[in-house]
């Protein structure tokens, strides 16, 4: 994973070998966060093995809201196991 800081509240994240399922889950969870202004991902080309996600926030940094969203997803998956 590569994180590119575009500005204090705008990051580009490049992931290798990520699936649409994982990226869509993360995007959906990010968009539920009140501090997220924009979250979107794309795969530049179907034959490429990486995806890009842009996260733009207000007040909190993208790193903070991404970590919060991942923690929430982990809790949801743990509930499914039980």
Residue range of the domain that includes 30: 2-81
Alpha carbons within 13 angstroms on the beta-carbon side of residue 67 total: 5
CATH of the domain at 64: 3.30.1360.10
DSSP string, 1-52: -EEEEEETTEEEEEEES--HHHHHHHHHHHHTSTTEEEEEEE-S-TTSSEEE
Q: What is the pLDDT of residue 18?
A: 87
Tens-digit pLDDT string for the chain (82 aa): 898 999 999 999 999 988 899 999 999 999 999 999 999 999 999 898 899 999 999 999 999 999 999 999 999 999 987 7
Q: How many domains does the chain have?
A: 1
Q: What is the pLDDT of residue 82?
A: 72
Put simply, whether the predicted model's pTM sits higher than 0.75 gets the answer: yes
């Amino acid at each position: 994973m590569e994180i590119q800081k575009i500005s204090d509240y705008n990051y580009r994240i490049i992931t290798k070998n990520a699936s649409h399922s994982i990226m869509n889950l993360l995007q959906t969870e990010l968009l539920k966060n009140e501090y997220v202004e924009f979250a979107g991902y794309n795969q530049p080309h179907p034959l490429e093995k990486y995806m890009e996600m842009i996260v733009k926030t207000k007040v909190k940094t993208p790193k903070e809201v991404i970590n919060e969203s991942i923690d929430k997803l982990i809790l949801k998956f743990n509930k499914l196991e039980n």
